[in-house]
Structures are given as structure tokens and as C-alpha cells.
Structure 1
């Protein structure tokens, strides 16, 4: 295994989207509202208790939607090991999704590239353009970095 100490955290938003595929449109709003206590819980025990309540309410009507949370729980609950600051960093994937969207935008209009090098060059230039626009610092970065050092001190490198 290339990264033996890797911990997997499944994207909560993608899990919600996946589970609501099985839910009638008229129930989606209440269904997702009832899911909030599960993924917003402060501890894994509280989250599991909320998931039990959620299952009691919705499990009979939408068993596949609830089952997907149970089946994927090991990869959904990784975040409960960490502080709220690190959790937010883990489950806010907007920056990553935005980056991927911008890369897709420049490649989807082309049906073919002259060579692999041509594709790599356009992706490189697009990446450089995107990186130039990253000027906003991450909110509360000092606190987040401190928490990362507590959990991953042997893997986080700080340059002064």
C-alpha cells in the first residue's frame, strides 16, 4: 500500500445526494433535515444515536437510503476523531470541486488533443491560472494547523 496510514472520509454531501436518490421529491426536504443531527453531531456516539432515530423514522419508507448510511458508516465517521476545525477542513470540498470543474471546463470543449503533452500543457497552464487566483487565506488557519500538528505531528512539515 502506498499510503498505509491513510484514513478515508467519504464526502458527506455526496452521501446525502446518493441516499436522496431513493427518496420521493416531496420528502427530500424533511429527510435531509432529519439527517443533520447525524453528520453535525459532536461525537460518533451521538451521531449513531441520531442515526438510530433517523432509521426509526425513515427506515420503513426508504430502507435503501438509510442502509447506505449504515453500509458506509466506517468511511463517514472518520471525521468524529478530530476537532471541529479539522472536520470543517475535511468535509468542505468546495475548493477541490471548483478546481476540478475549472479543469473540466478547458478539456470538455476539445474532442481530442494532438498529444498527451498538449493535454498536460493546457492542464498546467490552467492550474497556474487557478492558483494565481487563490488569495483568500483559510479561516482560522493557525488553529487548524495547531490541531493538525496534534494529530499528525510526524507527517505535517512546517517551514519557517
Structure 2
């Protein structure tokens, strides 16, 4: 019930690429980098308005996609930079999901939901054994999360 819904900025960006010509893709994505790396929502909105002036006549659907989704993209800006970097760097999560799919894909059917849960649990344990690297600036991220959500985080800190 306390979950905050927010779409992934990077997936939103990739989604709007389908409306952009290949010859403008690099420039377009570079311009959007200023939007999703802005320090606050107000600055991001200003950068987006500048981007709109530049690209809307050529790629109206790409811009409209951001307009239509701004309210579920903007919660991103309330987080500090260290936390936001984790949010738009999804390689760890995507890798985890890829490994889960790899295991379940080879099975045509599971006898029960419980057997699927058990298999995913065991695979997750094996995957987590390989997680040996500490996330860069994790101490800063953890401190920021403890400030923002003390009642949620502190019970997991030993």
C-alpha cells in the first residue's frame, strides 16, 4: 500500500525512439539526457520544454509520449542523485530476470504453483551467491533511503 508507482525513464526513452529517425537518434537521446539527469522536476520540465521546441515539429509522437506519461515519470525527481542512478541503471534487475527466465523457459509445465515458487526460490539463492560486488556509493544511497523512509529501512539494518 505504500508503494510509489513510477515508470522507468530509460524504458520511456527507448519507447519513444521508435518515432525518431535513425539519423537523429543520437542527438535526440543526448538532448533527453539533460531531462532525465536534471536536479529537480522543475529543471527537468524546463529542459523538456526546450526539447519540445526543438523536436516536436519533426517527431510529435515522441514528445506526446512524454507528455502523456509525465505524471508517472516525474516521481523519479524527488529522489537524490545517488538513488536515481540506481533507478535508471537496471542492469542488475534485468540480469536477475534473465536468469529466472532461463530456468523457467526450459520447463514446459510445472506440476503446481508451489513447485514453480520452490524452483524460483532455489534459483534466486544461487544467483545471490554470485553477488559479491558492493554497489558504488551504496553508503550514500542507504543513508538517503533511511532519511526518506526511516520506518521502512531501519528494520532491515542490522
Give the TM-score normalised by structure 1.
0.89
Gaps of 5+ in 1: none
Q: Secondary structure at the match of 1:154?
A: helix
The aligned counterpart of 1:133 is 130
Written as runs of structure 1 = structure 2, the 5 A alignment for 1:1-160 is 3=1, 5-157=2-154, 158-160=156-158
Q: Secondary structure at the match of 1:72?
A: helix
Bigger mean CA deviation after superposition, 73-82 or 51-60: 73-82
Give RMSD over aligned pairs.
1.6
Gaps of 5+ in 2: none
- Higher helix fraction: Structure 1 or Structure 2? 2
Q: Secondary structure at the match of 2:19?
A: coil
